[in-house]
Amino acid sequence: MNDQTNKMTCEEFQAQMPELIASGENASAHPHVRECDLCRALLQDLETIAEAARQLFPVEDPPDRLWEQIESAIKQQEPSHG
């Protein structure tokens, strides 16, 4: 990181955040993050949200009647036999 990176403002850093994060680099090692409490807190929050999202799992079952509807629609689609 050069001197220009070190002197980055919060706005400049935030403008780069999407690309920095998506690059897979360790954003918390960025010189601005090391110096700036607010941007560090922001980054940590975004990490917390992304981590929590990864832990979400399917929790909803569809209503039982949905299979009846699907079954009925399948029967309508199928050519009649006999």
Partner 1 sequence: MSGAALRGLSVDPPRKRMTPSRLSMHTPEGNSLRAAAVTAAEPDGETSPELASTQAETPAGEERSAPEKPPSPPPVPGSDADILARAQAGDHYAFAQLYALHKRRIYSLCLRMVGNVAEAEDLTQEAFLQLHRKIATFRGDSAFSTWLHRLAINVVLMHLRKKGLSVISLDEAMEPTPEEGPGRSFGAPDLSLAGSIDRLALERAISDLPAGYRLIFVLHDIEGYEHNEIAAMLDCSIGNSKSQLHKARLKLRDAMRTIPRREGRR
What is the contact mask toward partner 1 in residues 16 to 55, using x (rule: CB under 8 A)? Answer: -xxx-xxxxxxx---------xxx-xxxxxxxxxxxxxxx
The span from the CA of 49 to the CA of 44, in Å, is 9
CB 32 within 8 A of CB 16: no
The least distance separating partner 1 from the CB of residue 59, rounded to whole angstroms, comes to: 6
Backbone angles phi, psi at 58, to 5 degrees: -60, 125
Interacting residues toward partner 1 by CB under 8 A: 10-11, 14-15, 17-19, 21-27, 37-39, 41-63, 66-67, 69-71, 73-74, 77
